[in-house]
Amino acid sequence: MQNRQEDGKKNGGKVFPLHLENDGHDHENENKDESGWKSHWDLLLALFILIVLLVLEYGFKIELPKIPSLVINGIAYFLAGRKVLDLAFRKSKRGDFFNEFVLMSVATIGAFIIGEYEEGVAVMLFYQIGEWFQDAAVSNAKRNIKALLDIRPDEVTVIRNNAPLVADPSIIELGEIIQVKPGEKVALDGELLSENASFNTAALTGESKPDTKHKGETILAGMINLNTVAEIKVKALFKDSKLSKILEMVQDATARKSQTQLFISRFAKIYTPIVFFLAIAVCLVPYFFVSVYIFQTWFYRALVFLVISCPCALVVSIPLGYFGGIGLASRNGILFKGGNFLDVMTTINVVVMDKTGTLSKGVFKVQKVIANNIDEKELVKLVASIEKNSTHPIAKAVTEYAGDSTNGVMTENIEEISGHGLKGKIDGKEMLTGNVKLLKKFNIPYPAEIENIVDTIVVVAINNQYAGYITIADEIKEDAAQAVKEMHSLNIKTVMLSGDKQSVVDEVAKAVGIDEAYGDLLPEGKVEKVQQLKNEGKHIAFVGDGVNDAPVVALADAGIAMGGLGSDATIETADVVIQNDQPHKIVSAIKIGKITQSIVWQNIIMAMTVKIFVLILGAGGIATLWEAVIADVGVALLAILNAVRIQRMKV
């Protein structure tokens, strides 16, 4: 199992700045934006000096005397390399000799020692220009993810003493009423008090299509009010809003490294010292094998070897690729809790799904009430009185159907029996409400024909006597069948697990094209089914939304939560959160994982191929420092551009 502990830094719902950790770069000035040309005047001036010197030497055939050439090139070198030299010195003082800054310093100073002034300047200059482009790419990736952090409003209008007051959202208390004008963002989760209002939910779901909400429906922070002044009763504190949790997830995701990232980080730590010693070998070992050994020639080849071996293309472009994957997913309403889960999604060959809230809408309506030796209205009142203690969508359907009839009803000792239903005392009567398994558990006889009812059913017992049932119908999500079809096109097997009756489960499975469907399952039954699949060597993604789904979400290789209707427990446990509850986003999550991994490996193969090729040419005396630096910077830029491409893709 992957580590699912929250390791991000949190403070009262605030999200701290993102860091691209372990990327081979110095982060002591992380908060400064140094990607603009004004902050790189020294590089531009050094470039100008180098161009003038090259034009004089190769264009006009004017070769400067050695001392003036050394002085002018030295000035250009200092302008281009002062930051690198400073970092190399500071890291060396700490005992860190094997890093790219020391590598570049040694290579360029060595070029000056043997009189190759322009080449030394060029190596340092183009290396720094490459770093400039890398920093710009990293800053852009961070900005794309940080854009999420700007969608929480800094102020909110709250109604106090019958008058509007502008306040900080973090001080608003539960139960207060906030006012949201057209065009404003909702700052806190709550319940709509106005008759209706339309909202843009793109910040949460990735879908810009307006969503009309009606009185009593849930409104989430981050939604944008579109058409009318809306009043909302606050149901969650600012730090506890669903949006705050989303932002924390995105923040934490950047700190969780994929296996590829971890491998490259470890590889760079081993690779760099090996390169140093190989460069020394290139310089000294030929002394024992060649008839005419010229130190300057082999020293130059060693410098070429050092320059081309710089691992910056790998250590920057790979984390940047995972940044891009997380950003692409976020814009599509999918939250990955770490780059490691992007990798996991590429291995999935079985998707196991819950029914209610995942493949079906989870919006239930009462269809029929059948009472036995009790008035129907009285039955509904008693059932609703106990069911209002549950958060299950079926319970909500019954309580909505009952309306105000439960007012004044006395409830005692309410207990939830996981996977079965509820038990308690209502107005002095012992009540059981739930599925048929609940009545079986308490050995209460009931008519056999109710087991043949296809719709979801709430069976009722009063004082240990069967008292009737209520049928409730759900609706399959519009994109469920297409999502399953797309999974099959990716050679992914689909399985549905549900606590509903097998007849209901079979009907839904047939409608959407599920390969295997199992009903009448308790939470532990779902766990057993997933464990069986894991024992067969399958790589499993489990998709669910209920509290009872949390254990099986944790067991799966990739746990996916439906974040719109999903319970907080399931969302916290999950590795991936789908914000708009649409099944086709499961396919999108898999595709994003595959896209990210593909581009990351393209960069690895491209960088290593070019480096090995030029290393061989350099050791053989064919490649010069010019080719080495162009190859190094060129492959780094190509890798970065390839990684940045992820953020602009469509899935």
For residue 107, give the nearest of 640, 636, 624, 611 by alpha carbon.
624
Give yes or no: 354 in active site.
Answer: yes
List 135, 343, 354, 549, catalytic entry = 354
The CATH number given to whatever domain includes residue 221 is 2.70.150.10
Q: What is the CATH classification number for the domain harbouring 376?
A: 3.40.1110.10
Report whether pLDDT(6) > 70: no
Instruction: Extract the tokens encoding 35.
Output: 């990607």
- Of 118-127, 250-259, 498-507, the one with minimum mean pLDDT is 250-259
- The pTM (predicted TM-score) of the whole model is 0.66
Q: Is 561 exposed, middle or buried (0-12, 13-18, 19+ CB in 10 A)?
A: buried
CB 456 within 8 A of CB 366: no
Range with the poorest average pLDDT among 73-82, 107-116, 492-501, 543-552: 543-552
Q: What confidence tens digit (pLDDT) does each residue in 252-262 have?
A: 655 555 566 66
Co-location of 133 and 87 in the same domain: yes
> Do 137 and 179 lie in a common domain?
no
Quickly state the pLDDT bin for 520 (edges 50, 70, 90): confident
State residue 406's pLDDT score: 82
On average, the pLDDT of the chain sits at 81
Least confident stretch, 182-191, 199-208, 406-415: 199-208
Beta bridge partners of 237: none
> Would you state the pLDDT for residue 28?
40
State whether 182 and 101 are in the same domain.
no
557 part of a folded domain = yes
Q: Which two tokens stand for residue 546?
A: 């209920």
Note whether 443 and 495 are same-domain residues. Answer: no
Q: What is the pLDDT of residues 295-349, one digit of tens each?
A: 989 998 888 888 777 776 676 677 778 878 887 888 888 888 878 889 999 999 9
- The beta strand positions in 44-195, using DSSP E, are 156-160, 163-167, 177-180, 190-192
Q: How confident is the model at residue 132 (pLDDT cuts 50, 70, 90)?
A: confident
217: pLDDT confidence band, cut at 50, 70 and 90?
confident
CATH number for position 502: 3.40.50.1000
Co-location of 108 and 34 in the same domain: yes
pLDDT in tens, 369-413: 999 989 999 999 999 999 888 877 788 889 888 888 888 788 888
Segment 128-135 mean pLDDT: 74
Sheet harboring 540-544: ordered strands across? Answer: 334-336, 576-578, 558-562, 540-544, 350-354, 493-497, 516-518
Give residue 5's pLDDT.
33
In a domain, 168, yes or no: no
> In this predicted model, what pLDDT tens digit does every residue of 410-443 receive, in sequence order?
888 888 887 788 999 988 889 999 988 899 999 9
Across residues 99-112, what is the average pLDDT?
83
Q: Verify that 49 and 143 share a domain, yes or no.
A: yes
Query: In terms of domains, do 272 and 232 share one?
Result: no
Last residue of a domain, one of 451, 473, 495: 473
pLDDT for res 9:
33
- Count of domains for the chain: 4
- In a domain, residue 469? The reply is yes
Same domain? 390 vs 257: no
Angle between helices 259-284 and 339-347 (to 10 degrees): 100
**pLDDT given for residue 193 in this prediction:** 93
Confidence band of 85 (pLDDT split at 50, 70, 90)? very high
Residues 288 and 411 in one domain: no
Per-residue pLDDT at 143: 61
- Give domain status of residue 404, yes or no: yes
Assess if residue 161 is contained within a domain.
no
Final residue in a domain of this structure, among 206, 236, 266: 236
What's the confidence (pLDDT) of residue 261?
60
Same-domain pairing of 417 and 376: yes
Calpha distance 296→308 (Å, rounded): 19
CA-CA distance, 3 to 1, in Å (whole number)?
Answer: 6
> At which of 424, 456, 473 does a domain end?
473
416 and 544 inside one domain: no
Is residue 167 in a domain? Answer: no
Q: Report yes or no on 162 lying in a domain.
A: no
Residue 208 lies in a domain: yes
When mean pLDDT is compared across 56-70, 389-403, 564-578, the lowest value belongs to: 564-578
- Domain of 224, in residue numbers: 173-236
Q: What are phi and psi of 333, to 5 degrees?
A: 75, 25
Residue 498 predicted with pLDDT over 80: yes
Tell me, yes or no, whether 41 and 108 share the same domain. yes
The two beta strands, 516-518 and 14-15, are unpaired
Rounded to 5°, angle at Cα 245 from 20 and 251: 0
33-37, 461-465, 550-554, 635-639: which is most confident:
461-465
